[in-house]
Structure formats: C-alpha cells, structure tokens
Amino acid sequence: MSADALAEEAREARLRLARQLQELHRLHLALLAEARAAKRFTAAGRPLIEIELIADVLEQYLSATDAFLMNMRGRMEARLALLRRGEPQLNGRPEDAPGHGGFWLLFSRLCAVLQRIARKLG
C-alpha cells in the first residue's frame, strides 16, 4: 500500500474515532440530563427512587467503562513488542534514523496511558 493510501486511511480512521467520541459525549450528556431529572423523585418525597436510579446508572457505567479499559489495555500491552519493532532504523542504528525521536515520544505516550489505566483499574 502506498504512503498516500496509508495516510488517507489513517485520516479516515481518525475521523471515524472522532465521530464515535462525539457520540459518546452526546450519550454522556443524555445520561447527565436523565440523572438531573431524577431529582424530581426526591422533590416528590421519594428520595429512595433517585438514589436507586443513580446508583444503578453509576454502577453500570463504571462496569462498562472498566471492561472497555481492561480490554483495550490487554490488547495494546500484547502488541507492545510488535509495535516496538516498528522503530525506524538507519543502517542498523535506530538513533540515527529520521523519526526516531517521534516514534519514541508516541510509544512512551501509549505506555503512559496504559500505566494510567492500570492504576485506575487497581
């Protein structure tokens, strides 16, 4: 595949992910609106309904989020060695290759995010 075709495919992948993150943000706003609306039960003298609804939503949300993070972390940690082998090299010397610094900056960023996920999940 040509460099131009790969660049176009990467651009399309970024756009798809951006649209999905926008949809996730819309869903977060919808959940927030529902949570705010649940205060009507407390105002009507039934706070246990609000408590139960919000506890259910938060438990389910955390469970789904943790499952997603665990899955992504496992997938990416399993690929780290393969990804590392993609380090640019010039005459067998990675430190002399164009893009060497950029590669390690992004690789380190990925590792840092995976560490954050590991700390979050305990």
d(CA 56, CA 51): 8
Express each pLDDT in 74-88 by its tens digit.
999 999 999 999 888
Question: What is the 8-class DSSP label of residue 93?
Answer: B
pLDDT of residue 53: 97
d(CA 30, CA 112): 31
Compute mean pLDDT per 10 residues along the chain, 122 residues long, and list them: 92 98 97 96 97 97 96 97 90 84 94 96 89
pTM metric for this prediction: 0.82
